[in-house]
């Protein structure tokens, strides 16, 4: 990088030696001043998608609360009424004992309570998955919100560039008006004719037309920026050119997308472990109380209450059928994330290289702009003298005036475009 900070500081100092780096539509002390950082913040706050940030957190809390409730006693109530084709009977008669006959219609209502002791880590894995999904969603939202900065850059620096062009247009009109008066004086002395005056007047009218075009562009940019930021800004608003201290560059990439890819990988790690937890046995306490006919005593044909309690072990081994495929699917997803990261970094590297070349280009151009302006100004002043002496035509004078104007426009464009290129680079790297 070619001494970016020093050159940028010099350019800012040359353009704004005392009054501060401001582009404004007028010079009133009451004009509102905005900065690009303020526009970043306000555009982020004003973007409708920002509301999703609170919703992501709210959803995460609900899901965590639901997962935690797997560890509190689970209660269920059930009932049934059946008619059986046969009932239990003794295969023999006992002398002296009247064996009861059971009814074929049977009824039962029960309340079951179970308390998880160990679920193989399912609940813990669910909580980690919820947190991981919320983190990924939040980072995806941040990535979307970060893109706003690029659009703010386009509008903000578009305004700065157009206002610089407007200021230069005012200088051009001043020079042309002076030459109109000069030609009018020369006409009185008989050293210029009406055609010379008309030619210079046409240039002045064209410059005024260009002023209207520039003002229209400024109004359009300001309108778009106002909609995006929600700020009350207009043509009287002063837009601060970023200070040179804010233009230091770093090659370190701190984009939110990289954090998002890492979060996605952590989420896959959690899901990988959760797949293993799903095939582990589960241990719980249970208790059941009920009322029905028959109760626990199958030989009692009357309605009675009953209760039972104990420990339950459950192991669903059918989960092993799909465990291998689930793990391989997660591995494939992990490779997909790595491919996305590599693609993103490669595109970013190409973009950074292009933007650095852009920065170097404008630095090189700015190194010679001041010299070109100085020479063009000298040539224009000499042309005015030569025109007064009748050595050159008004067309030649207009050509030199326009050449100086173009040199000054180029300087202003190069200066603003350099700062814009730096901010584009800062956007690309998030520094």
Task: Name the DSSP letter for residue 85.
Answer: S
The larger pLDDT score, comparing residue 23 to residue 15, is at: 23
Task: pLDDT band for 31, please (50, 70, 90 cuts).
Answer: low
**Cβ atoms of residues 301 and 293 within 8 Å:** yes
Asked whether residue 337 is assigned to any structural domain, the reply reads yes
Per-residue pLDDT tens over the stretch 198-243? 999 999 999 999 999 999 999 999 999 999 999 999 999 999 998 7
Per-residue pLDDT tens over the stretch 176-207? 999 999 999 999 988 889 999 999 999 999 99
338, containing H or E segment: helix 320-388
Asked whether residue 217 is assigned to any structural domain, the reply reads yes
Per-residue pLDDT tens over the stretch 112-121? 999 999 988 8
Structure tokens at 289: 């109380």
Quick one: average pLDDT of 314-318? 89
Per-residue pLDDT tens over the stretch 68-98? 888 899 999 999 999 988 877 766 666 666 6
DSSP for 140-197, please give it. HHHHHHHHHHHHHHHHHHHHHHHHHHHHHHHHHHHHHHHHHHHHHHHHHHTSS-HHHH
**Cβ atoms of residues 160 and 23 within 8 Å:** yes
Pick the range with the lowest mean pLDDT from 2-6, 302-306, 400-404: 2-6
What burial letters (b/e) apply to 40-70, b meaning 16+ CB within 10 Å?
Answer: bebbbeebeeeebeeebeeebeebeeebeee
**Cβ atoms of residues 388 and 191 within 8 Å:** yes
Question: Strand pairing of 238-240 and 33-34?
Answer: parallel
Asked whether residue 346 is assigned to any structural domain, the reply reads yes
Quick one: average pLDDT of 372-383? 95
The per-residue pLDDT for 247 is 63
**Cβ atoms of residues 417 and 360 within 8 Å:** no
204 closest CA partner among 228, 169, 255: 169
Percent of the chain with pLDDT over 90: 74
Query: What CA–CA distance (Å, rounded) separates 229 from 238?
Result: 16
**Residue 163 domain boundaries:** 4-69+121-279+326-429
Asked whether residue 180 is assigned to any structural domain, the reply reads yes
pLDDT greater than 70 at residue 28: no
pLDDT greater than 90 at residue 131: yes
140 closest CA partner among 425, 327, 427, 337: 337
Order of strands, edge to edge, in the sheet holding 74-83? 74-83, 105-118, 282-293, 304-314
Per the structure, the count of domains in the chain is: 1
Q: Which residue has the tokens 């104007």?
A: 405
Asked whether residue 96 is assigned to any structural domain, the reply reads no
Asked whether residue 309 is assigned to any structural domain, the reply reads no
Asked whether residue 44 is assigned to any structural domain, the reply reads yes
Query: What CA–CA distance (Å, rounded) separates 134 from 53?
Result: 10
Residues 6 or more apart whose CB falls under 8 angstroms from that of 310 comprise 285, 286, 287
Cα dihedral sign for 249, 252, 253, 254? negative
408, containing H or E segment: helix 394-429
Quick one: average pLDDT of 251-257? 90
Rounded to the nearest 10 degrees, the angle between the axes of helix 320-388 and helix 122-189 is 10
φ and ψ at residue 80, rounded to 5 degrees: -155, 150
Task: Name the DSSP letter for residue 17.
Answer: S
pLDDT greater than 70 at residue 165: yes
Asked whether residue 86 is assigned to any structural domain, the reply reads no
Q: What CATH number is given to the structural domain containing 393?
A: 1.20.1600.10
Structure tokens at 171: 């200088």
Per-residue pLDDT tens over the stretch 99-108? 667 788 899 9
Q: Taking CA 341 as the corner, what is the angle to CA 335 and CA 346, rounded to the nearest 5 degrees? A: 125
191 closest CA partner among 182, 202, 179: 182
Quick one: average pLDDT of 413-417? 94
The per-residue pLDDT for 98 is 67
pLDDT greater than 70 at residue 157: yes
């Amino acid at each position: 990088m070619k001494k970016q900070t020093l050159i940028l500081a010099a350019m800012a100092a040359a353009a704004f030696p005392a009054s501060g780096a401001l582009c404004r539509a007028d010079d009133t002390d009451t004009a509102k001043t905005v900065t690009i950082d303020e526009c970043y913040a306000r555009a982020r706050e004003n973007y409708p998608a920002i509301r999703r940030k609170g919703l992501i957190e709210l959803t995460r809390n609900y899901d965590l609360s639901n997962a935690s409730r797997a560890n509190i006693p689970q209660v269920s109530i059930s009932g049934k009424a059946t008619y059986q084709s046969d009932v239990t009977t003794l295969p023999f008669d006992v002398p002296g004992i009247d064996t009861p006959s059971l009814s074929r219609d049977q009824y039962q209502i029960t309340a079951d309570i179970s308390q998880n002791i160990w679920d193989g880590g399912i609940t813990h894995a669910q909580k980690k998955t919820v947190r991981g999904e919320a983190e990924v969603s939040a980072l995806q939202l941040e990535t979307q919100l970060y893109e706003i900065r690029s659009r703010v850059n386009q509008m903000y620096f578009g305004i700065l560039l157009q206002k610089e062009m407007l200021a230069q247009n005012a200088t051009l009109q001043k020079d042309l008006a002076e030459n109109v008066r000069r030609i009018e004086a020369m006409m009185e002395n008989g050293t210029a004719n009406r055609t010379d005056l008309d030619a210079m007047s046409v240039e002045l009218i064209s410059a005024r037309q260009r002023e209207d075009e520039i003002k229209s562009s400024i109004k359009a940019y300001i309108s778009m920026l106002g909609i995006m930021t929600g700020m009350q800004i207009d043509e009287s608003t002063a837009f601060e050119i970023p200070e040179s201290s804010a233009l230091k560059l770093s090659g370190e990439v701190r984009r939110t997308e990289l954090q998002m890819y890492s979060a996605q990988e952590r989420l896959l790690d959690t899901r990988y472990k959760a797949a293993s937890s799903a095939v582990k046995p589960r241990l719980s306490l249970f208790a059941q109380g009920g009322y029905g006919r028959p109760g626990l005593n199958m030989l009692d044909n009357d309605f009675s209450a009953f209760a039972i309690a104990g420990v339950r072990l459950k192991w669903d081994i059918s989960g092993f059928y799909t465990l291998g495929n689930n793990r391989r699917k997660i591995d494939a997803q992990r490779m997909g994330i790595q491919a996305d990261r590599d693609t993103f970094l490669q595109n970013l590297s190409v973009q950074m290289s292009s933007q650095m070349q852009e920065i170097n280009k404008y630095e090189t151009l700015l190194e010679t702009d001041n010299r070109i302006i100085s020479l063009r100004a000298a040539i224009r002043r000499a042309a005015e003298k030569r025109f007064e002496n009748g050595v050159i035509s008004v067309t030649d004078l207009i050509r030199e005036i326009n050449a100086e104007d173009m040199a000054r426009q180029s300087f202003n464009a190069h200066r603003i475009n350099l700062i814009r290129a730096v901010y584009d680079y800062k956007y690309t790297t998030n520094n």
